[in-house]
Amino acid sequence: MFITKKHLSRRTVLRGMGATIAMPFLDAMVPAQTVLRKTAAQPRTRLACIEMVHGCAGSTQDGIDKHYWMPTTVGADFDFTMILKPLEPFRDYLTVVTHTDLRPAEAWSAAEEGADHFRSSAVFLTAAHPKQTEASDVLAGTSIDQIYAQQCGQDTPLPSLQLGIENVDAAGACGFNYACVYSGPISWSSPTTPMPLTIDPRMAFENLFGDGGSPGERAARQKANRSILDGIMRELGVLQKDLGTRDRHRLDTYLESVREIERRIQKIEQHNASGLHRELPNAPIGVPDSWEEHVRLMFDLQVLAFASEATRVSSFKLSRDTSNRVFPESGIKAPFHALSHHGSIPSKILEYAKLNVYHMGLFPYFLEKLRATPDGDGNLLDHTLVLWGSPMGDSNVHAHKRLPVLLAGHANARVKGNLHLKCEEETPFANVLLTVLRRLGIDHDKIGDSTGEVAI
């Protein structure tokens, strides 16, 4: 195969009844001794954007003084603070950016005062101030993930993937004369078009690996507890005959990951259909009661999507504004939103910081999965840029200053990592968004209120 310069297409898929399985990157996709080897070994950069609502204890004055979030040292080899501590094994991939503000999320008129929760998510990736309306004439901006998808995601099966954890009703008004859609999606394909969130792991799985078929056929397969992989076994056997040992192992590992996720979803569905008590009775049948389990499933799906280049772009909303969900595994008994309004009391700020640590504690799961997945001449974390942050700072006063923001991944050697960058006061967060776009190779002049790049 290699001597004759024959090779598998990067777009090779395995098709079966109700399934289309895109392939991970294989050695057989790179012909030896050709120019293509150099480009194929460095795939296009993936982009993942992750929002956590309600800001951070480290953005309060008490949290700043005690360095709950912001490292005490600037530059390389910075110290890992209380909330950042779970990420220490990924130092070389991390860029922590402090002291940026998101002014477009603030109230620009008296009528907008107090409505921060109902517009923040629409500003996070757009840096655009949303129009105050309860009607369908919504107006914000195009988000950076969609700018990237429009230019570099049109040759993948899915231009982008939009995932969430808690549902937000996209219809009607949510408060302060703002349409509910502003507090749901963080991805906007145009200033007037928010991209809907998928919170059901089953739906996300079928979007990635299903191949249509009738709803009846899909339901029958799920009811029979059959795998989506069953229909591709013949094609798989033919393909494997022409693969080397390493490629066969890589393909087996990838397909087993697909099957393992499918099993987990099936187990959740069986439990939720059993009539046993559910913590989230109104959630779709594929949604687990456990926040941790739900987040891990969605992280795993993004890793598989990136590995197979089913998509290069994802956005992930980890909660919703004003959520009063309780997280039993965290050891914190207070509801999320209530605790975020800590009254600037140091003991309550510390408790909120502990909840922030719990939320951050699942992020390394995603980073390790990316790092452990081979991709071209490196791994997925080498070839991915992850933006993690919140559009709020001190949630007690609905402030959008000193946001908790970090980047992870090397973006195909365009981001070095091992850096704490402390920006000048009042630096627009939009500068981070503009920097991300340019590190992705997108020649963009301005986004929102940006004034230039940040020096990462």
H-helix or E-strand spanning residue 190: strand 188-190
The secondary structure of the chain in percent helix, strand, coil, rounded to multiples of 5, reads 40, 15, 45
pLDDT at residue number 34: 52
pLDDT at residue number 5: 47
pLDDT at residue number 337: 97
In the three-class reduction of DSSP (H, G, I as helix; E, B as strand; rest coil), residue 321 is classed as coil
For residue 14, name the pLDDT band (cuts at 50, 70, 90).
Answer: confident
Find out if CATH 3.40.1350 is the number for domain 46-199+288-439. Answer: no
Q: Where in the chain is the domain with CATH 3.40.720?
A: 46-199+288-439
pLDDT at residue number 279: 86
For residue 150, name the pLDDT band (cuts at 50, 70, 90).
Answer: very high
User: pLDDT tens, 323-356?
Assistant: 999 999 999 999 999 999 999 999 999 999 999 9
In this model, does residue 38 exceed pLDDT 60?
Answer: no
| Cα dist from 316 to 168, 268, 405, whole Å | 14, 21, 15
DSSP annotation of 232:
G
Do residues 110 and 433 make contact, with C-beta atoms less than 8 angstroms apart?
no
What is the distance between the alpha carbons of residues 152 and 311, in angstroms, rounded to a whole number?
Answer: 10
In this model, does residue 218 exceed pLDDT 70?
Answer: no
Question: Which residue carries 């809907």 as its tokens?
Answer: 196
For residue 29, name the pLDDT band (cuts at 50, 70, 90).
Answer: confident
In this model, does residue 3 exceed pLDDT 90?
Answer: no
CA 265, 266, 271, 274 torsion-angle sign? positive
User: pLDDT tens, 94-118?
Assistant: 999 999 999 999 999 999 999 999 9
pTM: 0.94
